[in-house]
């Protein structure tokens, strides 16, 4: 279990998180939603060990991440796959080389094994035959699938997807979210999913956390989330033009 307690993060004079507390259970597919600038991506960076709070604690199975030495932090990060905003592919590398990259950095497997694992993961996201393509030859949805394959190829304990559907059309967005849900179902890993596709997140997540002005306004399974009487939830669902389940 990962526990964030009373987290405060500021960038300069701008507060991003202001007393945020959140529990993440093993095997969760936690959908993290909220208005722009609410602090959603900061939560992802905290869990990944890429950011540490000015105040508060982050523990994983009782271990305080801030107290890890550099070796311990590297070991923690080895178990995390991250799909970054806007895919962050290496433009000069082929699809295969992009997906092989984390394996080359994190394992001592022979080159043939690394290539086979990467090719299998590429096929898993429906891109078999695209191994030699450069990213600039791919559509937006295909690029996101390559990024997802790269994040999953290390078989992470925790998969973090930071707005993987941004800028995609509704059908492609749905396809990407379904792939994320399928991978979590097959592997049993924990998934943190930030997305502006609120309807899609509600449909695949086991829990929904609404981040609002640097805190958690609501944290519940999707059905209870949609029935919530919390004013910020109702306002957010209304702004997202989603029906409020508690409405008559």
Residue 127 pLDDT exceeds 90: yes
Mean pLDDT of 158-185: 93
* Three-state DSSP class for residue 11: strand
Query: pLDDT, tens digit, for every residue of 6-22?
Result: 999 999 989 999 999 99
118-122, 144-148, 169-173: lowest mean pLDDT where?
Answer: 169-173
Model pLDDT, residue 240 = 80
Residues 6+ apart with CB under 8 A from 180: 29, 148, 159, 161, 164, 191, 193, 204
Mean pLDDT for the chain overall: 93
Residue 196 pLDDT grade (very low, low, confident, very high; cuts 50, 70, 90): confident
Count of Cβ atoms closer than 10 Å to residue 133 Cβ: 15
Q: How far apart are CA 139 and CA 16, in angstroms?
A: 33
Q: What are phi and psi of 110, to 5 degrees?
A: -65, 155
The 3-state DSSP class for residue 115 equals helix
Residue 244 has pLDDT above 60, yes or no: no
Distances (CA, A) of 71 to 67, 76, 162: 11, 9, 25
- Identify the pLDDT of residue 86: 82
Q: How far is CA 6 from CA 21, 33, 65, in A?
A: 5, 19, 15
pLDDT digits (tens, 9 = 90+) for 19-37: 999 999 999 999 999 998 8
pLDDT tens column, 48-69:
999 999 999 999 989 999 999 9
Q: Can you list the alpha helix ranges (DSSP code H) found in the chain?
A: 40-47, 70-78, 95-106, 111-124, 140-152, 170-187, 198-204, 222-227, 231-239
Reply yes or no on domain 1-79+156-167+175-217 having CATH 3.40.50.720: no
Q: Compute the average pLDDT of residues 30-48.
A: 93
Mean pLDDT is lowest, of 118-127, 161-170, 216-225, 238-247, for 238-247
- Do the beta carbons of residue 182 and residue 124 sit within 8 Å? no
pLDDT at 239: 84
Residue 247 clears pLDDT 50, i.e. is over it: no
Evaluate if residue 248 carries a pLDDT over 70.
Answer: no
Is the pLDDT assigned to residue 88 strictly greater than 60? yes
Break the chain into its structural domains and give their ranges. Answer: 1-79+156-167+175-217, 87-154
Decide if pLDDT at 219 tops 90: yes
């Amino acid at each position: 279990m990962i526990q964030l307690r009373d987290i405060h993060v500021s960038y300069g004079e701008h507060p991003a998180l202001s007393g945020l507390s959140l529990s993440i259970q093993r095997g969760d597919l936690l959908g993290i939603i909220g208005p722009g600038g609410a602090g959603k991506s900061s939560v992802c960076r905290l869990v990944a060990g890429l950011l540490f709070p000015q105040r508060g604690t982050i523990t994983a199975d009782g271990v305080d991440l801030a107290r890890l030495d550099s070796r311990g932090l590297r070991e923690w990060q080895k178990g995390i796959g991250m799909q970054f905003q806007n895919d962050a592919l290496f433009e000069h590398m082929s699809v295969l080389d992009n997906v092989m990259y984390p394996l080359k950095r994190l394992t001592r497997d022979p080159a043939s094994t690394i290539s086979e694992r990467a090719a299998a993961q590429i096929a898993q996201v429906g891109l078999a035959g695209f191994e030699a393509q450069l990213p600039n030859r791919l559509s937006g949805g295909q690029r996101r699938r390559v990024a997802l394959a790269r994040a999953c190829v290390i078989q992470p304990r925790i998969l973090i997807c930071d707005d993987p559907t941004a800028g995609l059309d509704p059908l492609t967005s749905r396809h990407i979210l379904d792939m994320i849900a399928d991978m979590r179902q097959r592997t049993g890993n924990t998934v943190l999913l930030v997305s502006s596709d609120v309807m899609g997140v509600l449909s695949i997540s086991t829990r929904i956390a609404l981040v609002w002005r640097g805190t958690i306004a609501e944290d519940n399974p999707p059905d209870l989330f949609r029935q919530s009487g919390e004013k910020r939830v109702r306002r957010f669902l209304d702004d997202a033009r989603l029906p409020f389940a508690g409405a008559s």
